[in-house]
Chain A
Amino acid sequence: MITRKVTRKWEKLPGKNTFCCDGRVMMGRQKGVFYLTLFLIVGTCSLFFAFECPYLAVHLSPAIPVFAVLLFVFVMAMLLRTSFSDPGVLPRALPEEANFIEMEIEAANGNVMAGQRPPPRIKNVQINNQIVKLKYCYTCKIFRPPRASHCSICDNCVDRFDHHCPWVGNCVGKRNYRYFYLFTLSLSLLTIYIFAFNIVHVVLREYRNIFEHVVSLTPHCTVLEVLVCFFTLWSVVGLTGFHTYLISLNQTTNEDIKGSWSGKNRVQNPYSHKSIIKNCCEVLCSPTYPSVLDRRGVMLEDLSSPTPSDASAASTHQSSNPVSQTTKSSAPLIPNEHTPDEAKPGIGSGTQKSTSSPKEEKPPSPTSPNAVAPAVIKESSH
Chain B
Amino acid sequence: KETEFMIRSECSLRHSASLANKVFIQRDYTDGTVCKFQTKFPSELESRIERTLFEDTVKTLNNYYAEAEKIGGQSYLEGCLACLTIYLIFLCIETRYEKVLKKISRYIQEQNEKVYAPRGLLITDPIERGMRVIEISVYEDRGSSGSSSGSSTTSSSGR
Which residues of A are at the interface with B, using a C-beta cutoff of 8 A? 73-74, 77-78, 81, 90-91, 93-94, 96-97, 100-101, 103-104, 107-108, 123-128, 132, 134, 142, 145-147, 159-160, 179, 182, 270-271, 281-282, 284-290, 292, 294, 297, 300, 302-303, 306-307
Complex Cα distance, B132 from A94, in Å, reads 12
Determine whether the beta carbon of A287 is less than 8 Å from that of B95.
yes
The SS class assigned to the B binding surface is: mixed
Determine whether the beta carbon of A126 is less than 8 Å from that of B129.
no
B78: chain A residues within 8 A (beta carbon): 287-288
Interface pairs A-B: 5 shortest CB-CB: A77-B86, A108-B155, A91-B130, A288-B95, A292-B130
Determine whether the beta carbon of B129 is less than 8 Å from that of A146.
no
Interface residues of B in 1-34 (CB under 8 A from A): 3, 6-7, 10, 19, 22-24, 27, 29-33
CB A15 to nearest CB in B, in angstroms, measures 13
The SS class assigned to the A binding surface is: mixed
Determine whether the beta carbon of B90 is less than 8 Å from that of A285.
no
Complex Cα distance, B97 from A124, in Å, reads 29
Q: Which of B24, B69, B78 has the most CB of A within 10 A?
A: B24
Complex Cα distance, B23 from A103, in Å, reads 12
Which residues of B are at the interface with A, using a C-beta cutoff of 8 A? 3, 6-7, 10, 19, 22-24, 27, 29-33, 68-71, 75-76, 78-80, 82-83, 86-88, 90, 95-98, 101, 127-133, 135, 151-155, 159
Determine whether the beta carbon of A125 is less than 8 Å from that of B159.
yes
Which partner residue on chain B sits nearest A93 by CB separation?
B132
Which partner residue on chain B sits nearest A140 by CB separation?
B130
Determine whether the beta carbon of A125 is less than 8 Å from that of B69.
no
A146's partner among B10, B33, B83, B153 (CB-CB below 8 A) is: B33
Which partner residue on chain A sits nearest B135 by CB separation?
A97
B6: chain A residues within 8 A (beta carbon): 303
CB A309 to nearest CB in B, in angstroms, measures 9
| A/B interface sample: 27 pairs, CB < 8 A | A77-B86, A77-B87, A81-B87, A91-B130, A93-B132, A100-B24, A101-B24, A103-B153, A125-B29, A126-B30, A127-B30, A142-B132, A145-B27, A271-B33, A285-B71, A285-B79, A286-B69, A286-B71, A286-B79, A287-B69, A288-B90, A288-B95, A290-B127, A292-B130, A297-B3, A300-B7, A306-B10
Complex Cα distance, B155 from A126, in Å, reads 16
Q: A90-B130, A270-B32 are in contact. List 7 more A-B contacts (CB 8 A).
A: A91-B130, A93-B132, A145-B29, A147-B33, A285-B75, A288-B95, A303-B6
Determine whether the beta carbon of A160 is less than 8 Å from that of B33.
yes
